[in-house]
Amino acid sequence: MIELFIRGVLFGLAIAAPVGPIGLLCIRRTITDGRIAGFISGLGAATADALYGSIAALGLQALSLWLLGISPILRIVGGVALLWIGLTTMLARPQPIVAQPEPTKRGLLGAYVSTLFLTLTNPATILIFTVIFAGLGLSAGAGGLAGLALVAGVAIGSALWWTILSGGVGFVRGRVTPPMLRVINVVSGLIIGGFGVAALFVG
């Protein structure tokens, strides 16, 4: 059980580490709003991964098939959301970091919900966990507590990555000037919007 948990932590790190739209959002929010905002943004993605992993671990096949069946609709919704976030990021007016107010509870909740929502629009994550279970000799739904231990490890590993990322970016946050932030806004907005276009037209 402990071995599966440790493997789950490693899988969680591996799944979260590749830089995608969520990673870019986490980086930008860390720069503009602070480490807590960046970490909370990543935590939303980790929660979604844990939810989909739990569905696979518990063998909820009907729910899995339903989610996979509506994945084209979810992909469109997620793509539109990414396009909107990309556009608003590009148009955001940069301010000196020292002038940025501390994020409110409502702002942190919004950061969490937004990345949770964006990650939930990719139900194919269930298939990733199914493959992981198969690779470890566990069938989805048959693993019981072992499967849930693996999922818990994945969630903690993912959260650990977001802690490392937001903490690392937070160290250089104070050196970011408004012109630099303007470049960051434009570049990250274009890339996030690009992910949105890919979600809408590629798949």
Q: pLDDT tens-digit profile of 62-117? A: 777 777 777 788 888 888 988 998 898 888 777 666 555 567 777 889 889 999 98
Q: Which of 17-21, 123-127, 133-137, 181-185 has the lowest mean pLDDT?
A: 133-137
Q: Whole-angstrom Cα distance, residue 28 to residue 192?
A: 11
pTM exceeding 0.85: no
CB hemisphere CA count around 126 (13 angstroms): 26
Percentage helix, strand, coil for the chain under 3-state DSSP, each rounded to 5? 80, 0, 20
- What is the pLDDT, as a whole number, of residue 113? 93
Which residue type sits at 65? Answer: L
Mean pLDDT of the region 34-52: 88
Mean pLDDT of the region 194-201: 84
Query: Taking 90 as the threshold, does the pLDDT of residue 32 lie above it?
Result: no
Backbone angles phi, psi at 140, to 5 degrees: -55, 125
Q: pLDDT class for 152, splitting at 50, 70, 90? A: confident
Cβ-based neighbour number of residue 161 at 10 Å: 22
Q: pLDDT class for 133, splitting at 50, 70, 90? A: low
Q: pLDDT class for 40, splitting at 50, 70, 90? A: very high
Q: Whole-angstrom Cα distance, residue 11 to residue 8?
A: 5
Higher pLDDT, 26 or 15: 26
Q: Which of 16-20, 47-51, 165-169 has the lowest mean pLDDT?
A: 16-20
Comparing CA positions, the residue from 23, 5, 14, 9 lying closest to residue 119 is 23
Q: pLDDT class for 55, splitting at 50, 70, 90? A: confident
For the chain, first and last CA: distance in Å?
37
**CA distances (Å), 37 to each of 52, 59, 77, 109, in order?**
23, 34, 24, 9
